[in-house]
Amino acid sequence: MSTSQQLPTHREGGPKPIKRNHSASYYVHRVSESLSTRISMILCGIFLTLLFITGVAAFIAWLSLRPHRPRIHISSFSIPGLDQANGFENAEIRFNVTARNANRAVGYYYDSVEAFAYYRDQAIGSTHLVDSFYQEPKNTTILYKVLKGATLDVNSDRWMEFRNDRALGTVVFRLDVTAMIRFKVSTWDSKRHRMHANCDVAVDRDGSILATSKNKRCPVYFT
């Protein structure tokens, strides 16, 4: 065999040489990218786990505190002299409201508590009930007041409207109680919220509260 003759580098039917489509740096990058993805997934899993634990803890805390809104009831309400034609000359409205805190661990700070009387959605009187007080959990506070004189706006025409309703059997009023409230849990106090309690109350022919309105719970909302 001549020394100038070249040997074939590949024989037909034998294994083919490995063909590399990517460089070594490409595979290093792929490995690095895979590692980053795994780390991101681990961090995401840790975050979701912590979020879940926090949510469960908050739910358990809520169940243990069971926060309730203040419960406002009309205990008594009367407008004496409703059976008298000239009763408007000495007209007055007497009412008794109870504020109940039904919470086990939440207290209320009440500020600037006021009451407004309405008849057919028109204001007929208002009065300041109390400046401020703290109500402990599982506690009831009684608020009593009389609307008369400067705090009650009733003239002969309005009194006649009262008596016209009286002839039909009942006279319906609305007493709104408003206050600024803060919630207290242990050493934490919330920001102030304005509370509104809307109490519809009906009186009979002699001006006394009807049994259907007595101790009726008033809807409460906040703004």
Digit-coded pLDDT (tens) for 178-221: 999 999 988 888 899 999 999 999 999 999 999 999 999 999 99
pLDDT at 29 over 80: no
pLDDT of residue 141: 96
* Ramachandran angles phi, psi of 83, nearest 5°: -85, 5
pLDDT at 79 over 90: yes
pLDDT of residue 190: 86
Most confident of 40-44, 126-130, 189-193: 126-130
Residue-averaged pLDDT of the chain: 86
User: In terms of pLDDT, which residue wins out, 144 or 23?
Assistant: 144
User: In terms of pLDDT, which residue wins out, 3 or 126?
Assistant: 126
| pLDDT (mean) for 91-100 | 96
Whats the size of the chain, residue-wise? 223
pLDDT of residue 13: 55
pLDDT of residue 11: 55
pLDDT of residue 2: 47
Please choose, from the candidates 102, 103, 107, the residue with its C-alpha nearest in 3D space to the C-alpha of residue 133.
Answer: 107
CA 124 to each of CA 25, 154, 202: distance values in angstroms, whole numbers, following the listed order: 86, 6, 15
pLDDT of residue 27: 56
User: In terms of pLDDT, which residue wins out, 51 or 26?
Assistant: 51
Provide the token pair at 117: 């009387």
| pLDDT (mean) for 116-135 | 96
The amino acid at residue 180 is M
pLDDT of residue 16: 57
Provide the token pair at 17: 């040489």
pLDDT of residue 1: 47
Q: Is 158 helix (H, G, I), strand (E, B) or coil?
A: helix
User: In terms of pLDDT, which residue wins out, 124 or 48?
Assistant: 124
CA angle at 68 for the pair 198 and 215, rounded to the nearest 5°: 45
pLDDT at 66 over 90: no
CA 26 to each of CA 30, 39, 157: distance values in angstroms, whole numbers, following the listed order: 6, 20, 94
CA 219 to each of CA 38, 70, 113, 177, 214: distance values in angstroms, whole numbers, following the listed order: 54, 10, 16, 11, 14
Kindly report the pTM of this predicted structure. 0.71
Pair 139, 105: CB distance under 8 Å: no
